[in-house]
Chain A
Amino acid sequence: GAVVSQHPSWVICKSGTSVKIECRSLDFQATTMFWYRQFPKQSLMLMATSNEGSKATYEQGVEKDKFLINHASLTLSTLTVTSAHPEDSSFYICSARELAGDSYNEQFFGPGTRLTVL
């Protein structure tokens, strides 16, 4: 099956620093990638949708200047948490989808990145 990787799997950083998380589709080309955030005992909340070669679409309430998303190739998207603060500590999960269009195409999820901001 399709495999999505994330790097790093966990990161601890100091408040005020920036952290970059990578999401890669290993065996397929992902025209669309999604970034989710999951707090403990909470659901996955979509942060943004990223299409290759275009600007990401952010969900309401998500600061686009704080969570920078780049989807420069069909196999790589990055999420940069700028000037991270303790309230940004969470589990960040990406997913990738092969095709866009009217029909449903399965989203394949990465293993997640646990961010802890001290």
Chain B
Amino acid sequence: QKEVEQDPGPLSVPEGAIVSLNCTYSNSAFQYFMWYRQYSRKGPELLMYTYSSGNKEDGRFTAQVDKSSKYISLFIRDSQPSDSATYLCAMGGSEKLVFGKGTKLTVNP
């Protein structure tokens, strides 16, 4: 079993839709959970970061962590064409990060 599993998609939604992205993990030692957005041929940029179970909201983005189920989610409300990118979950301790494969999202106008 891989440490981090993420459905690569692709996922295509109409503009304005709510998008749900998910990752599961197997290592209970992971303490920090991140979501990165990566545009084609660019480096990842951090969207959301959390270190505890529960929800964290930032504008149109909500990150959820359920440590008991080893499951994390990213919700995007009122999705925009500019949200079209690959979204990678990442998690780890104080040192290394382990990344999911990324989910390619396309928001159609």
Q: Report the minimum CB–CB distance from A102 to chain B (whole Å).
A: 5
For A, the interface residue count at a CB cutoff of 8 angstroms equals 25
In the complex, what residue of chain A is closest to B100 when comparing beta carbons?
Answer: A43
A33-70: CB near B (< 8 Å → 1, else 0) gives: 01000000111111001000000000000000000000
> In the bound complex, what is the Cα–Cα distance between A116 and B91 (angstroms)?
30
For B31, list chain A residues within 8 Å (CB): 104
- Near A by CB (< 8 A), chain B positions 26-51 give 31-32, 36, 41-46, 49, 51
Give the interface of B toward A (CB within 8 A). Answer: 4, 6, 8, 31-32, 36, 41-46, 49, 51, 88, 94-102
Known pairs A34-B97, A44-B88, A114-B41. 10 more at Cβ < 8 A?
A42-B101, A43-B101, A44-B99, A49-B96, A95-B43, A100-B95, A104-B32, A104-B94, A111-B43, A112-B42
